[in-house]
Amino acid sequence: MSSDTHKQWSVLAMNTVAFATNFAVWTMFSIIGIKIKQELNLTDTQFGVLVATPILTGSLSRLPLGIMTDRFGGRIVFFIQMLLVAIPTYGLAFASEYWQYLVIGLFVGLAGGSFAIGIAYTSACFSEERQGMAMGIFGAGNAGAAITNLVAPMIVVAYGWQMVPKVYSVAMILMALLFWFFTFNDPKQQERKRTGKHVSLSEQLAPLKETRVWRFGLYYYFAFGGFVALALWLPKYYVGEYELDLKTASLITMIFTLPSGIVRAFGGWLSDKYGARTINWGVFWVCLTCLFFVSYPQTTMVIHGIDGDLHFNIGVSLISFTLLVFLIGIAQGIGKASVYRIIHDYYPNNMGSVGGMVGAIGGLGGFSLPIVFGAASDLSGVRSSCFMVLFGLVALCMILMHFAIKHIEVERGIYTDQTING
């Protein structure tokens, strides 16, 4: 019989790998979408809608999937979810018109709902003092975006983009089978089943009336939604701004996606040790600074001097841009973990519903931001306008967090790490 420790780590390992597989499927339009854009001659706005469509379903499905996980347990819900995702993923290879890609993409997007299942399942299996670490390790499954950046271009070059969804669907079925054989029912769900005491739907949804939950959602809208949006948008940005080929652009994008996923576990540890709000505040400052520089468009300036015209080129070089984006990715990775540590501090018994809602809001960031990026690019004619949008978003997060802290100080008359987690 397996020990409790063995069960915990086996569940965590399978949750993380399953989430990474789902995330790779969820973001595959970032690569195959570029080929589809070329075939159908799409505008930037249409491309933004295309890559964002799966993100919409993945976002909206997180709340119901989180509630189902609290009710039925993560093992069975995760297993069924993966099997359901494999079907439309395979079907994507046979689409040929824009509307078909959008419709099938909506069903493929269920892959993004895996986060709400896994985060609740992981939280249920670990003790209070290990919550940040466990959820951070699970969240490292975001590195699935890097898997797509690495694997998908190779498949596209060798066999054409239609082979990518075929390979991914087979991988998803194999992952579902491995998951079933190496995981266990979570203890909280087993206890509820034994006693017959299940949390009612109204009790699960009650915390969603609190403003704090929606504020946490905005933080995650930037930290996670911004990450997903950039993971989808960067390959195209590198191709257009720096004239790289698709394979090279995808590989360089891994400098953003891979560390951002892996560092999430470190972000969980930092949040456990120093307080989630403190870490979040630092994350916002790093992002604000880096986004200020990458927002500046490539500029040519002519000064009419005494002895003739003086020409200046102002802009961010490829190396500098990649370094700044790398720092943004690291900060967002840590921020994704710290937000969920805050959620557990306040709602340890509602990780499915509250975590699902916050995850849904964050996922909606991954859906809406690429569309906003495309519209901003089409309207302004400036590629770096996408980073201007993110700059404004993180500034808003910081303003709201500042006033939330001040409000708590006034109410309690005390300033401790526990109070500033609001």
Q: Give strand pairing partners of 308.
A: 305
DSSP characters for 116-143? HHHHHHHHHHS-GGGHHHHHHHHHGGGG
Domain extents in the chain: 4-192+204-421
Segment (H or E) for 92: none
| Identity of the residue numbered 328 | I
- Say if CB 292 and CB 347 are below 8 A apart: no
Report yes or no: 109 and 58 within 8 Å, Cβ to Cβ. yes
Structural tokens at position 392: 């404004």
Alpha-carbon span 24 to 135, nearest angstrom: 19
Give percent above pLDDT 90 in the chain: 35
Question: Using CB atoms within 10 A of its CB, is residue 46 exposed (0-12), middle (13-18) or buried (19+)?
Answer: middle
CATH class entry, domain 4-192+204-421: mainly alpha
Q: What pLDDT is attached to residue 189?
A: 65
Distance between CA atoms of residues 361 and 371, nearest Å: 16
C-beta separation of 405 from 420 below 8 A: yes
Q: Contact, 154 vs 64, CB < 8 A?
A: no
CB of 22 closer than 8 Å to CB of 144: yes
**Residue numbers of the chain with a pLDDT score lower than 70:** 1-3, 128-129, 187-201, 203-204, 409-422
Q: Is the dihedral of CA 91, 97, 99, 105 positive or negative?
A: positive
First-residue to last-residue Cα distance in the chain? 42
CA angle (17, 20, 26) in 5-degree steps? 145
Q: What is the pLDDT of residues 275-305, one digit of tens each?
A: 888 899 999 999 999 999 999 887 777 788 7
